[in-house]
Structure 1
């Protein structure tokens, strides 16, 4: 399909001097990435004569110009809605915003959406968090060419919650969301209505995004490979499509429906006066009881339902929602190697200078004026009038039936989701995205409840016990051998170490725990990514990805030794983990929501983790979970509503576009 980001890996090798010989020597999974952008073409669904909708509307994707900053209007891609049938409040615009219309539906309503593409590139829309049949989920195979229409038909089966809708176009999801194609949906039900929560003008969507603009007020996106590998981070915060957002309120309680609509930026939300952030709901709807937090972490694709009570505040007073400092979500590369877990033997990218991914001290990025993990304002609340009354915060919100591990079909053999990275690609279960490429662990029995384990598939023993499946790269230094893990020697089929022992094409040296004969200097010293997961350590015991002790590697990968292309050099230490392995990833699983059972963090990441740990809310229904470096997250997910093909991917949208996405088949 035209317009997909599908960089040729063969061209990458040629331009970096590795050439055809290195290409021929690549593992099959990486050579297969040549065809990563080849997507089967599905037939657009048409209206069914036997489907009688309660709400029907057109949703048009087109190029528009919107005034965002003073001066020149900004070229955007925009969703425009036109209600055909149903209550007037079903579709409302956010004044002056490029965001799509705010949709409001009731549990049980039948909805028909005519999605029409008027862009000059393919697009398709996914309803993030909505439980719908596979055909209606926005699979990229149904991407519409210009002039085509896809008719969605579904019944609202979700409990009261906030849903995000956005493109799911293979290879250019990040680009299209960044240029404006996104919107929110609010679902109501009788359980929520009985609580008499703030509604109408007192219920306010807060969509947080970050953007960069050039001198002519046009959006700037992905300037170099660095922006893809870390995810794109803008230098201005927008709320509801507006910069420097101000919210005028009365002195009473409000309900703020907060959505992280950024491509990659993670927020640590807190009130500037130290007031607790009171959360009554998350991705999948209301919690059982309100939660009071000093701050709340919010990753791309996640939502928060915030009770904000301004009662007792004087007219003229103000309150600022800020993102507070935190660390550990981005790679930590400095001018002389890694700032965290620096190697004493390896990791000398460009002779100890700054490699391609360098300059990311403590989460900041080179040349960025709004570093990730720094302190900055999101929006300002102004109390402009006095209210005579205000609702009280309910002590009980909803009933959530909690799953236990013994309730699952696989308590001793969780479904594995292994996060890893490769040169120019992001991987799940050791493989890039490919349609209909179902591996053993990606076929899920219908009408089952499954234990799922999300982890970083790298480190001393692949970061996870298990056995590499058919066609999968083995865990580092393990050559596909089965290893014992927490949870009882689980064997995870397509666990995969992602990098499969690669010295980043530097002769395919298997470092991480094994002795490389040349210390990662193969191919004339072109370690390109400094061993990428195999750079040497300091021979001290180090914590593995799950907190267990991992054996330190014995030899180090030196990227280009004394100069030239350092690539992503400087990746020693960290128990054999490569530099790109030390990133946080928000993992989104389509179809029904899940419950978080546990989080386990490695000892090496504990200091950074302490800056975010109190901001997680794991007690409600979720569809997106932030997995920090070195963290293992266990979830329980039902697969009881629909059969068919669904997606799981990183919601850092640049990572998704680079291949950190897989399909799972519910059958």
Structure 2
């Protein structure tokens, strides 16, 4: 009789716990931010005269703050998405393009299934829901298509958008915001006499990189900004297919960098110029408080030699990027912080392989660039491309190919890294000296320029998310030619996954409760199943 009552109580308790867990799961899966993201063909007024056909993203907010999704009127690019660290996003993606595409969330640490792997595509006319939690700190990130063999032309036609992450540490700094914050997506394009985009790269342009002859910012050819005499925050993103920039002010005002790819720096970094390769971002403190009303300051790209280049305005040519005109006098009280945010500094001695870096060299053979001795193979990995989860490792990239020597923007999906060494092994010393001071390697990076003849070494703690992510040259024509490889992150041990199905959920909870008081539901390997095991299982719920 007592045993029967005990079993009934146990079953009742189990039923109540499962009901509570179901409610808990519903709450955990609720979206903080929900929006639709539509990729579609549009016609916009970029130049006087005929409308220009573009492919673009359009966003519609479902749940979230009113400033979460900001579409750009008459622009060739997509919305600016603004979210908070810790937000869970649900994105209803609709592909209304005439071909397959996907969305890569450049710089964000998210599960591999949501990252936009090169062959994980959404067919024309189809849709997909994308869900992830924003783990990254405050910073300037972006999203763009990433289908194998078609990324370059899809991006060139307009498929790009910025995603801004905010957090408490950034808010405490009182950096310029609102009208004093200027997102700037830098791109170059070429147009026909009838205002249509031109993109039909020759083999030479595929090998060296396609460049346009018209500078655009945020999808507009008007690259001038009216500003009050205040400090501004410029969120710079190089969204070009292949053009890099050597950014400097025309009046020799120092370039004051406060952030890069993965968020704010630990302290501002001042320099005469800033190198910004395709895919890279930088946040700049732009102090216009000393400008007289009616005067201007111009953002230039100074001349440099990237190795091979071509085009009417080749990569490395001097050009005007943007002009800022002081149109109203306002009093400025904001001062540049001497320190910004705390950054965990990786140390080589803490890496799993401190003396033997994984080596992924850039090469050139059979008229194509290679990475790690090969080209892209769908989900194909070499032995040295299989890495342990949540482990700090030491990586080396070299660019010492003797044929077609040129700079490459290297991008790693799914994780931020820290550059710890640059060495010019065999490059032109004069050309290298003209750019090296502008590499913004402080803090968190996910994309960096590697110069001809250079070796770059970095530390990365691999994500806790298992799966296949790509790394590649972000010169998009090179990516399309196969200069892209896959890194496979092995699964971490998942405490609480009692049925070994790769997830911790109600099925595991039922097994744990069914083994209560025995070793059958033991999670923490102490030989029994009790409250400590339940706590550990719930801590990994949904993983």
Q: Report the TM range for the smaller structure's normalisation.
A: 0.7 to 0.9
Residue number in structure 2 paired with 1:146: 124
Cα distance, 1:603 vs structure 2: 4.6
Kept after mapping to 2: 8 A contact 1:128/1:590: yes
Query: Residue 210 of structure 1: SS of its match in structure 2?
Result: strand
State the distance in 1 between where 2:333 and 2:287 align: 9
Cα distance, 1:390 vs structure 2: 3.5
State the distance in 2 between where 1:623 and 1:325 align: 25
Residue number in structure 1 paired with 2:390: 447
Kept after mapping to 2: 8 A contact 1:283/1:303: yes
Residue number in structure 2 paired with 1:644: 467
Cα distance, 1:436 vs structure 2: 2.3
Kept after mapping to 1: 8 A contact 2:400/2:453: no
Residue number in structure 2 paired with 1:312: 290
Q: Deviations over 1:425-458 (max 9, x none)?
A: 3311111100122111100011210100011264
Q: Is the deviation greater in 184-193 or in 639-648?
A: 639-648
Kept after mapping to 2: 8 A contact 1:230/1:330: no
Closer, same or farther: CA 202–172 of 1 in aligned 2, 3 Å: same
Q: Which has the higher strand share?
A: 2
Query: Residue 88 of structure 1: SS of its match in structure 2?
Result: coil
Kept after mapping to 2: 8 A contact 1:222/1:232: no
Aligned residue pair count: 465
Residue number in structure 1 paired with 2:516: none
Kept after mapping to 1: 8 A contact 2:394/2:457: yes
Cα distance, 1:424 vs structure 2: 4.5
Kept after mapping to 1: 8 A contact 2:419/2:459: yes
State the distance in 1 between where 2:463 and 2:57 align: 32
Residue number in structure 2 paired with 1:607: 430
Residue number in structure 2 paired with 1:662: 485
State the distance in 1 between where 2:432 and 2:124 align: 45
Q: Deviations over 1:272-291 (max 9, x none)?
A: 01110100000001111111
Query: Residue 406 of structure 2: which of 576, 580, 583 is its match?
Result: 583
Closer, same or farther: CA 613–313 of 1 in aligned 2, 3 Å: same
Residue number in structure 2 paired with 1:524: none
Closer, same or farther: CA 428–210 of 1 in aligned 2, 3 Å: same
Residue number in structure 2 paired with 1:479: none
Residue number in structure 2 paired with 1:417: 360
Cα distance, 1:653 vs structure 2: 0.5
Q: Deviations over 1:550-572 (max 9, x none)?
A: xxxxxxxxxxxxxxxxxxxxxxx
Q: Which runs of 5+ in 2 are unaligned?
A: 1-24, 491-543
Cα distance, 1:416 vs structure 2: 1.4
Kept after mapping to 2: 8 A contact 1:592/1:641: no
Q: Deviations over 1:579-608 (max 9, x none)?
A: x1x111000001120000000002542111
Q: Deviations over 1:52-104 (max 9, x none)?
A: 10110110111111111111111110101111111111101123312111000
Residue number in structure 1 paired with 2:500: none
State the distance in 2 between where 1:141 and 1:421 align: 24
Q: Which runs of 5+ in 1 are unaligned?
A: 1-47, 332-362, 459-576
Residue number in structure 1 paired with 2:221: 243
Closer, same or farther: CA 427–311 of 1 in aligned 2, 3 Å: same
Query: Residue 275 of structure 1: which of 234, 253, 272 is its match?
Result: 253
Normalized against structure 2, the TM-score is what? 0.84
Residue number in structure 1 paired with 2:183: 205
Residue number in structure 2 paired with 1:621: 444
Query: Residue 163 of structure 1: which of 128, 133, 141 is its match?
Result: 141
State the distance in 2 between where 1:76 and 1:380 align: 25
Residue number in structure 2 paired with 1:76: 54
Normalized against structure 1, the TM-score is what? 0.69
| Pair 1:284 & 2:262 matched | yes
